[in-house]
Structures are given as structure tokens and as C-alpha cells.
Amino acid sequence: MVHSLTLQQRLERHQVRLEELVYWTERQKQPLTQLTLEGEPATVGTPWPGTDGVFNFTGNGTVPADWPLADCRLRMNLGGEGLVMLSDDQGIATGYGIDPYHRSFPLKSCQFSFTAECTARLPFGEPVRAPRIEWAELVWIDTAVEQLHLLMQQIAEAAETLKGHDVVPHLLDLAEKAFYQLDWPSATEHYISRTAQAPLQQKIWQLPVTRGEPSELSEQQRQTVIDVYQQLLKGLAELQKRFPPEGEIALTGHAHIDLCWLWPYDETRRKLRRTFHTALSLMEQSPEFRFNQSTAHYYWQISQTDPALLEKITERVKTGQWETLGGLWVEPDTNMPTGESLARQVLYGQQFFEQQFGIRHETCWMPDCFGFTGALPQLLQQGGMKNFFTIKVNWSETNRFPADLFWWEGLDGSRVLMHTFDNPMQGYNGFVHPHGHRETWKNFRGKDKHPQTLLTVGYGDGGGGPVPEMITREEQLKVFPTLPKARWATVKDFFAGANQSAERTALPVWAGEIYLELHRATLTTQGRVKKAHRDAEQALISAEIAGSLAHMLGADAPDSLRDSWRYVLKNEFHDILPGSSIREVNIQAVEELTEVIRQAHEYQQDAMQTLIGQLPAAHGKHLVVVNPSLDCRPLETELADGTALSTDTLLPPLSVAVVDPDQLQPGGSLSVSETHLENRHLRILLNADGTLASMLHKASGRETLAGRGNQLWAYTADKPRNWDAWDVEEDFAARGEEITDLHSLQVVESGSHRVAIRLVRQFRDSRICQTYSLTANGKRLDIHTELDWHDRRILLKTLTPVAVKAREATCECAYGVVKRPTHENTSWDAAMFEAAAHRFADLSEPGFGVALLNNGKYGHSIRHNILALSLLRSPIYPDPLADEGEQQFTYALYPHNDEWYRGGVREEAEALNRPLLISESQPAAMGLYQPVKLSGPVSLSGFKPAEDGQGLILRVYEPAGGRGSLEMGLTKGWKNEGPVTVLEEPMNVSANSIKPFEIKSFRLCRG
């Protein structure tokens, strides 16, 4: 046939004709009348009695005798999101999630009943303001028409996405021929009734009166539909021979379920059950379908709330249809947790998967996290994981990440195979769709190295997962020409193939941190959550150290603090710790972390008492001090009554000292006035506005500052295009106000061990109180800050120009440091205008440097010689009251000789974050006890009971990028059984040396 239309016009005609089929996909339907809502009779249109909490529905019905059961569906929109338990005539229930994408459910018997529990919310937490039962009906599907419509639709989608390809005219020829062969009804009254709901018909001034039950296709007409469908499949298969698939995609069903985000955790519990029941139901529909789900915590939660569901999942795991993966407790943020927290993510995640499913995962699954620390590859390798998946690197706004199948090399040189895909149709919440398949393959830059890319499909973020249509689409697309071959597969099999390719072909290598050029404000938003998290981490680490030292001195083995750690790990989820969730989530996070801190302090106190019980007794009231670090520390602490101690007494690493507090003398003289603080190390002068005028480092004779120090700036232009809680944009400083309104300044402490000056400032409706404090032997100036904040959409920073010139700043990260540019030479440098540092960021030049320390902040911007720390952000979405009210934290300025690693920067930062443990008024004999001695260039990660109860685990790491020898000495009756992995299994590495940024754990046992 000669066509007078262009290909685009023919495609548009096909799309219009395609719409007609939709209105004959239902043969008959009838309303469901036996409904209840909260125990009361209900019908379609019945409003819910409220909008908060869970509401319960029931219903039952009977399929008409002349309807074939296989073609029948229960379709419902009850007004919100929920879980439907649909029971057959034997009382056997099958679960289904109900949401805007899942509203049609197959029936297994003609007599049925259901229960449903729903919330008046949509999947992304949007409230349904006036919930009611929208519809509930039995539908007899015309399966032949439904399948033909979907196939015709996929042909249209393929032609659209393949524009310009030689195959397009042939696709349209097939579709047009198929339409010509259909015998379609045309009787006016029935036709008008069937098509009355078409968008175009709905625009007519007044429609004719329509029939309530328009006729369906005749058997003869239906047979043409069946014949045409088969002819189309055959024609597509023939066309595929001429135009074979270009590329290959491994499809995996997926439901990204944020542990919390735009809904509270109680709703997540319900989302888990809905999504998991839906996935199981799809496995009944197709034995080829594959579904993956990460996150050990989710399976643990299901074991607590629905153990029968977990049993069903376990059975599908055994058959290979359900793939557990991930290896971590949750999908955490990795920019902010300390290294020990990340080690516990691996330890407790893999431990649970092995205990529950007998599986140790090889792939770390983090599709949605906001950048990745360079410590991860080493941790993953030690945890049995050699692969890593994400797609978030594609979100960077300035520079395109250069590879999508590559080796990611960590700080220490460990490598994992990393894959990412670029799907323009909702990323990791993908669809089985010609356009998604075609573009994902087109965007895959590693196709010359490996012939397959991964694609996850299913509604997500708020859960839900795949829908039945996706299974049908995959089956139909098997015969399509040109489009990539796309088949259900497991992530495990995909990476097995990718690793084989990596053995044959050299892949690109990305070394170090993977910085996301987006979502930088997640390092600052919700400061209370971040501070509580930091405190919880450090409190648990200190508690375990105290218990382990007590055990080495003769006490019973301490218990694992796994359950407390799990709460910390849960709150490291990538929308909780980053501060990008609703208010309810943030409140719960602070409550849970505060409870962990309380428990950890109880553990510390109990461990200290147990430890003291192992020491020789004596008369008197002595001070028992534990040094919970591998650094030699001066005895500086604060007693229960607030009295400060700052002495020259040095405490060896991991030691227990019993001292007489009356004999402790200050480590030098102090002086203070409203304009200065001074000890033997520092002389600090204040300006009249409360900023720092001078900071003399006496050991070097150098001035630390190159301008007024500790300037407080409020940036009122911090209003990003999108992602209010997530983003700070490069123009945030275009409008800033320095906060100079000084309400008061006074000396508040002038003791022999510590002096302090307190400043109170006002900014609009907010109050800022800061206390400059200097101890007798202190080498840093602490700036304790109390905020009472009542202003919206402000970014608050402290800025200090220092007398140091350096092209790079050194920022602490998990298990090491990362160097960051202080200049903007390249687009990569310029894009890193706000970046993470843990406990310190340092600017050094040969012989001298200045560090900015903190005990609960992460967002830093270091340009040229200005050390800047983000203190607070107050966005309005998704929490209108983010950082509203009171919070407190401390940051400090620390000038030093030499480079940072020789100048004691990490040691000072650790002392600020993990103070000495003390117990007052104890009848223990004075003395010094050091049950474990470890010499070498290492820092302490953790000292804990082994999870199997066999001894203790001492974990250290090299923090600066150097190397050296290790020598360990243990108290009598203890032995070092050698290095172990983070999974606490024997590791074949040297016990007597350490390499740059290496993490090394040892099992210590009695014997």
C-alpha cells in the first residue's frame, strides 16, 4: 500500500485507533454490595469516619455462574493505601497491596470474602483529605481484547521510541493490517454507551442517554481478536529475525521501600506487608518472574509482625524467585556514619541474612543513597561482598559520572565491581516498557565491555512493586524486533556475568569517594538527629570498650550490644540521618537515639563498676578513669558536678587509671577577661562584637587567624529549586547577613582548670548562645553553641579565615581522610562547594595548620583559607519545622605544628567526641592498668565482645594513609588469635603490619 501519511501521522492514527479497544476490555461488571467499614454497613460513596490511623473493611461476593473464574477480577478503590486479604471458599487467604497502581485482584473461587486495612494516604504520604469508598466491583475481563490492546500499545510505544529506525514502517504495517482484520461492533446505542467515558466524548455539551449494560463482543468478533493477536505475535517474531534485538537487559522486579520518608515508620511496617504480599502473588502468576528486596531490617520486622508472611518469602527464596540481597542492615547514608557503624551495618546485616535464609550476599545494594564514602569497598570485601549497585551517581547535576560498569577502588586499594544504569523512566522505579528498555540500553556506556545491563522495575520509594501488566509486557516483548532482549533475571546472575567480563576485559577504575553533586544540604538539615546519632555511636563504642577492658581484667564476658546498635543502624537510613523526612520521623529518630544513649551510659556505668570490682581495693575516694582510645591522653574531664579537670597527667592508650583527685593539679596557668582567654598554649583575643580578633599559637609563635574568627552568617538565599531539605545551591552566599547583634558578653568561668566567656546573640526571632572555653592544658578553643531557633529557610554557618595557604583541605571520613580542593579550577572542584567531614577538617601548610573540630556536624565549605562549618538549616519541606527550637553542640579551633597527622588533629577530635570515662568516689587502690597494649600508626575503631561469644574483637585502622608495624601485648591469660574480618572470621593477612587506610580486626581470647 502506498501511504500518503508520514510515519509520524500513521503512528498518531494508530494511537487513536488503539484507544477504542480499551472500552471493550470489560465484558460485564457488577457492584459489590456486601461491604462494611469499621463494622458498619457501607456502600460505594460511604465516607470514612476519619483520616488518621488504620481503618478496617470487609466484603464478600459471588461470581455469577456464567462468568469464567479465570477471567474475573475484584476491582476496588477503598479510598487509600492498604492491604487486602482475599479469601477463597476454603478460607485460604491471599494478600495484595491496594494503592493507585494495584487495584485489580484475581479470584480463586466463585465464593469469596475479603478484609482490608487501609490508611487515608497515597503511596508518597499524600493525605486523602476526604476518603471514601470510590468503587468496589466484580469484573468479567475480556482477556483477548485486554491482551490485544496491550500488544498494540507496545507496538505504538516501540514505534515511538524507535523513530528513525528502519523497523518502524514495518511495525506500523503490522498494526494497521491487524486493525483491518478486526470485526468490531458498531450498533449505535451500544457503541455510544461503551465509549461514553472516552476523554473526547466527555467534552461534549450533552451526551445521549446511554445503556447501563452495553453488549460485549460476539463470539465471532472475539475470534477475530484472538486470531489477530496470534498473527501479530507471529509477524513480530518474523520481523525480529530481520531486525534482531540490539542489546540485552536483565530485568528484576523491585520495590524501593524507604524505611521512613514522607510517612512514619508505623506506615512502613504496613507498606512492607502490602508490597511483599503483592510480590508473592505475582510469583503465582509467572514462574519466570523474579523479585529482589534488600534490607535485613525489613525481614527482621516482618518476623516480628507477620511471621507467616516471612515463611512464604523464605519458600520463594528457596525456589529462586525471591532474591534477598544487599548484605547491610538498612540502605544507609554513608557520608556521615563513623567507620564502626558501617562495619556493624555489614556485620549485623550479613549475620541476619545467614541466620534467616542461609545466604551470604555478594552484592551491596544502595540505589538511592547520596554519595558513597571511600571506606566502603574495603568493608564490603571483608564482609563477603564483591559487587556494588546504585543509580544515584546519575543524579549529579554538574559533571557526568564517567562510567557505569567499573571497578570502584576504596581508600585502601580494595576494589568492588560497580554497576549503575541510566533509565529515563523513573530510574530504579522502572517499567517494562519499550522506551525504558531502549533508552537504558542506549545510555549504557559499558556495552563494549559487557553485553548486558541491569534494570529494576516496579513502583517504589513508597513501595508497591511490580504490577501484573509488567509480567504480560515482558512476555509480549520477547518477540519484538530491534528492542533489547529483556528477560527476568537475578541480580546475582547479572553480576556473575559482569565479573566474568571483568576478568576478560579491562574496566575503568574510579578511586576514592564518590561525591554526589546534589543533596549537599543533607549534611546539615535536622541537626538534632545528627547530633543524637553521633552521641549514640560514641556512647556505644565507649560502653563496649569499658566492658571489654573489664573482661580482660578478670570480669565475665560482656553481652553484645547488638540490639542497641540496630537502632543506631536503622536511623542511619538514607532519609532519616540526612534529615529528609517528615517531622514524625525526625521526632521518633531523636527519641530512639536518645534512648540508645541512655542505655549506653547505663552499660558504661555497669561496666565501670564491674571493672572497679577487678581492681585492688583501698580506703579513700579515688577517681577511676578509662582512656577509650589508642591515643596517649592528658587527664582532662568534667566531673558530675560540672567541675573541670585539666592536668598534665597522661593516660596510656586503653588504660585504666586510679588517681587521687585531690592531688590533680592544673596543667598550667589560666587567665580570662571579657576580651581574652589564655593558657600556656594559646592566647585568644576577642573583638568588641564577640568574634575572635587573634589566636596566637605559642609553640610556633604564629598567628592562627587571617581575619575575624568565628563569624556567624545567616544565608537567607538558601532556597533551592527543588528538594528543600536536601539541597543547598551554589548561590546560597549571594545574600548573607553576618550576625553581629551582641546581646551580652560575660566571663562565666574563671577556675584554675577552665575559663570561659559566654556570648548571647539575637538574629530576628532566634537566639544564639556561645561559650568560648579554654582549659589549663588545652590546645584548642572550644565553642559550645546553644541555639533556640525560630526562623524559616535560613542556612547558618560559622566562618573563620586562617593564616594558612593550602590547595587542599583534609577532611575526616569513615576509616580515613579525603582531600578536598580549596579552589575552583575545574567544574569538579567548583561543584564540591559543600562536602562532608566527620570530626575534623584541616588546612595545613608545611610546619603549621589549623583544624576545625566538631562533635555533631558534617557540612563543610572550605574555600581558599576560610574554614566554614554549617550549623543549621531550616527548610519547610518535608518538615515545616526543621531545626525549630533548641539544640546544642560544640565546635573548636585547633592550631598545631606540622601536618595534621603529626599535629594531633585526629587525637584532639577524638577527645572532643569520645571523652574519658570516669567513676568518682571509688574505694580502689591507686594505680595504672593496661591490659592491652598496641603500638603502631593506628586509631581505635571498636573493642567489643565477639558475636559468637568467643572472646573479644579489637578493631583498628590506619587513619592517615601511611603504613607501619604493629606490636600487641596482652595481659597475662590472654592471647591474640590473629586477624579477623568485619564478620569476625579468620583473615589471612599479616598481624604485625598495617597498610594505608587498612581496617584490621583481632580476636582476643583467654588462654
How does pLDDT run across 885-916, given as a tens digit for each residue? 999 999 999 999 999 999 999 999 999 999 99
pLDDT over 80 at 461, yes or no: yes
pLDDT class of 63 with cuts at 50, 70, 90? very high
Quote the pLDDT of residue 528.
Answer: 98
Output phi, psi for 136, to 5 deg. -155, 115
Integer Cα distance of 215 and 752 in angstroms: 97
What the block records as the C-alpha cell of 357 is 535464609
SS3 237: helix
How does pLDDT run across 353-399, given as a tens digit for each residue? 999 999 999 999 999 999 999 999 999 999 999 999 999 999 999 99
Integer Cα distance of 553 and 541 in angstroms: 19
Are the C-beta atoms of residues 522 and 725 closer than 8 Å to each other? yes
How does pLDDT run across 815-858, given as a tens digit for each residue? 999 999 999 999 999 999 999 999 999 999 999 999 999 999 99
Are the C-beta atoms of residues 572 and 332 closer than 8 Å to each other? yes
Pick among 3.20.110.10, 3.30.70.2190, 3.30.559.10, 3.40.50.1580: CATH of 248-518: 3.20.110.10
pLDDT over 80 at 280, yes or no: yes
Integer Cα distance of 900 and 895 in angstroms: 10
Integer Cα distance of 839 and 340 in angstroms: 14
Are the C-beta atoms of residues 324 and 357 closer than 8 Å to each other? yes
User: What is the sign, positive or negative, of the torsion defined by CA atoms of 704, 710, 716, 722?
Assistant: positive
How does pLDDT run across 286-308, given as a tens digit for each residue? 999 999 999 999 999 999 999 99
Quote the pLDDT of residue 834.
Answer: 98
| 368 noted as active-site residue | yes
The pLDDT of 707-722, averaged and rounded, is: 96
Domain 26-141 fold: Jelly Rolls (2.60.120)
Are the C-beta atoms of residues 80 and 120 closer than 8 Å to each other? yes
- Cβ atoms within 10 Å, residue 846: 8
Cis peptide before 878 (omega within 30 of 0): yes
User: What is the sign, positive or negative, of the torsion defined by CA atoms of 21, 23, 28, 31?
Assistant: positive
Integer Cα distance of 767 and 763 in angstroms: 6
What the block records as the C-alpha cell of 490 is 537475578
Integer Cα distance of 838 and 861 in angstroms: 13
Are the C-beta atoms of residues 991 and 975 closer than 8 Å to each other? no
pLDDT over 90 at 212, yes or no: no
Place of cell 584490621: 1000
Quote the pLDDT of residue 3.
Answer: 80
The DSSP H or E segment spanning 116 is strand 111-119
Quote the pLDDT of residue 254.
Answer: 97
pLDDT over 90 at 781, yes or no: yes
User: What is the sign, positive or negative, of the torsion defined by CA atoms of 174, 177, 182, 188?
Assistant: positive
The pLDDT of 250-265, averaged and rounded, is: 98
Integer Cα distance of 76 and 99 in angstroms: 9
Rg (CA), the chain: 33
What the block records as the C-alpha cell of 239 is 520481523
Are the C-beta atoms of residues 261 and 443 closer than 8 Å to each other? no
Quote the pLDDT of residue 259.
Answer: 97
SS3 234: helix
Percentage with pLDDT > 90 across the chain: 98
Task: Give how far the C-alpha of residue 199 lies from the chain's centroid of Cα atoms, to the nearest Å.
Answer: 41
Percentage with pLDDT > 70 across the chain: 100
How does pLDDT run across 101-141, given as a tens digit for each residue? 999 999 999 999 999 999 999 999 999 999 999 999 999 99
Task: List the strands of the sheet with 682-686, edge to edge.
Answer: 671-673, 676-678, 682-686, 692-697, 702-703
Integer Cα distance of 694 and 646 in angstroms: 23
Least Cα distance to 283 among 242, 237, 315, 239 occurs for 315
pLDDT class of 1007 with cuts at 50, 70, 90? confident
What the block records as the C-alpha cell of 448 is 563494549
The reported pTM is 0.97
Least Cα distance to 604 among 953, 1001, 954, 916 occurs for 916
pLDDT class of 209 with cuts at 50, 70, 90? confident
- Cβ atoms within 10 Å, residue 244: 10
Cα-based distances in Å from 643 to 13, 114, 382, 646, 775? 84, 66, 44, 10, 12
What residues does 636 pair with on adjacent strands? 646
What the block records as the C-alpha cell of 65 is 455462574
Output phi, psi for 214, to 5 deg. -65, 155
How does pLDDT run across 173-184, given as a tens digit for each residue? 999 999 999 999
Q: In this structure, are strands 840-845 and 848-854 parallel, antiparallel, or unpaired?
A: antiparallel
Q: In this structure, are strands 291-293 and 248-254 parallel, antiparallel, or unpaired?
A: parallel
pLDDT over 70 at 1, yes or no: no
Quote the pLDDT of residue 4.
Answer: 87
The pLDDT of 784-807, averaged and rounded, is: 98
User: How many residues are given for the chain?
Assistant: 1007
Place of cell 494478600: 95
Task: Catalytic residue, from 333, 368, 535, 718: name it.
Answer: 368
User: What is the sign, positive or negative, of the torsion defined by CA atoms of 471, 476, 481, 487?
Assistant: positive
How does pLDDT run across 617-663, given as a tens digit for each residue? 998 899 999 999 999 999 999 999 999 999 999 999 999 999 999 99
pLDDT class of 745 with cuts at 50, 70, 90? very high
Residue boundaries of the structural domains of the chain = 7-21+151-242, 26-141, 248-518
Quote the pLDDT of residue 211.
Answer: 77
Q: In this structure, are strands 795-801 and 866-873 parallel, antiparallel, or unpaired?
A: antiparallel
User: What is the sign, positive or negative, of the torsion defined by CA atoms of 718, 719, 721, 724?
Assistant: positive
Are the C-beta atoms of residues 35 and 42 closer than 8 Å to each other? yes
The pLDDT of 601-608, averaged and rounded, is: 98
The pLDDT of 75-91, averaged and rounded, is: 98
